[in-house]
């Protein structure tokens, strides 16, 4: 039964992918212990799909860091402050 064997292989591989994907973000943040990080890295060398997933996580992380202020123009920062003050005002407003 060669067919069912390869099906089993595929299921096992998919289970490994699920485990790895849950660990991709902590892996990027350097929060995994050495053994788990090594297992993730090992899987990534063999699995293109998980590697692509890691790359898109990395891109999102970089985009978020940039959005956090470093590359924000002074005009955008003023707009953000005004927006925050407006939001604060909404919270304080007790009038009906
Ligand atoms: Zn995978």
pTM: 0.56
DSSP 70: I
DSSP 8-state secondary structure symbol assigned to residue 32: S
Among residues of the chain, what percentage have pLDDT more than 90?
41
Mean pLDDT, the chain, integer: 81
Q: Ligand 1 centre from 26 Cα, in Å?
A: 16
From the CA of 50, how far away is ligand 1's center (Å)? 4
State pLDDT tens for residues 46-65: 999 999 999 999 998 888 87
Ligand 1 centroid vs 89 CA: distance in angstroms? 48
Q: Are the beta carbons of 53 and 24 closer than 8 angstroms?
A: yes
For residue 85, report the distance from its CA to the centre of ligand 1, in Å: 45
Give the mean pLDDT of 15-44: 94
- pLDDT for residue 31: 95
Please give the pLDDT value at position 56. 93
19-32 pLDDT, tens per residue? 999 999 999 989 99
24's tokens: 């991709």
| Maximum separation of any 2 CA atoms in the chain, in Å | 74
* 63 CA to centre of ligand 1 in angstroms: 24
Q: In angstroms, what is the span from residue 17 Cα to ligand 1's centroid?
A: 4
- Residues 6, 4, 39, 17, Cα dihedral to 10°: 90
């Amino acid at each position: 039964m060669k067919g069912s064997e390869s099906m089993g292989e595929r299921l096992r591989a998919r289970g490994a992918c699920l485990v790895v994907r849950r660990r991709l973000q902590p892996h990027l943040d350097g929060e995994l212990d050495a053994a788990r990080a090594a297992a993730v890295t090992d899987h990534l060398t063999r699995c293109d799909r998980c590697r692509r997933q890691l790359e898109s996580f990395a891109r999102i992380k970089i985009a978020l860091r940039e959005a956090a202020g470093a590359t924000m123009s002074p005009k955008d920062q003023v707009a953000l402050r005004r927006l925050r003050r407006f939001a604060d005002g909404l919270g304080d407003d007790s009038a009906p």
